[in-house]
Amino acid sequence: MAYLVKILPRAKRDLAHIYSFINAAESDAALHWYRGLKMQLLSLKETPNRNPVVPEDSKLRHLLYGKKPHIYRIIYRVNEKVKLVEVHTIRHGAMRKYDAGAL
């Protein structure tokens, strides 16, 4: 059974920021990369538990996307009871650790 992937408001803002930051509206290569990021995000509907738990919080997992030095972390929570994946944030790998206490 597939999971429902819900992109929370913070993650939606992160996606919009990334789109703007990489100038995806003006670059075919950047748009291709951005679409790949979104496809990886949506791939969580099939096997969300395939990814490791984050060091910040044992209830969260992360999916890495990109190549060094441009790796992004899709941080999410899996709710097995209702088959739901909640995407909390999408962060550049070089950023400080995610403050999971702010949930």
Residue range of the domain that includes 22? 4-94
Taking residue 52's Cβ as centre, other Cβ atoms within 10 Å add up to 10
Whose tokens are 């929570």? That residue is: 77
The identity of residue 10, as a single letter, is R
In a domain, 14, yes or no: yes
pLDDT by 10s per residue, the chain, length 103: 699 999 999 999 999 999 999 999 999 999 999 999 999 999 999 999 999 999 889 999 999 998 888 899 999 999 999 999 999 999 986 555 656 555 4
Q: What is the DSSP letter of 94?
A: T
- CATH label of the domain that carries residue 40: 3.30.2310.20
Question: Could you tell me the pTM of the whole model?
Answer: 0.86
- 101 within domain boundaries: no
Residue 34: inside a domain: yes
Domain contains 99: no
Query: Domain count of the chain?
Result: 1
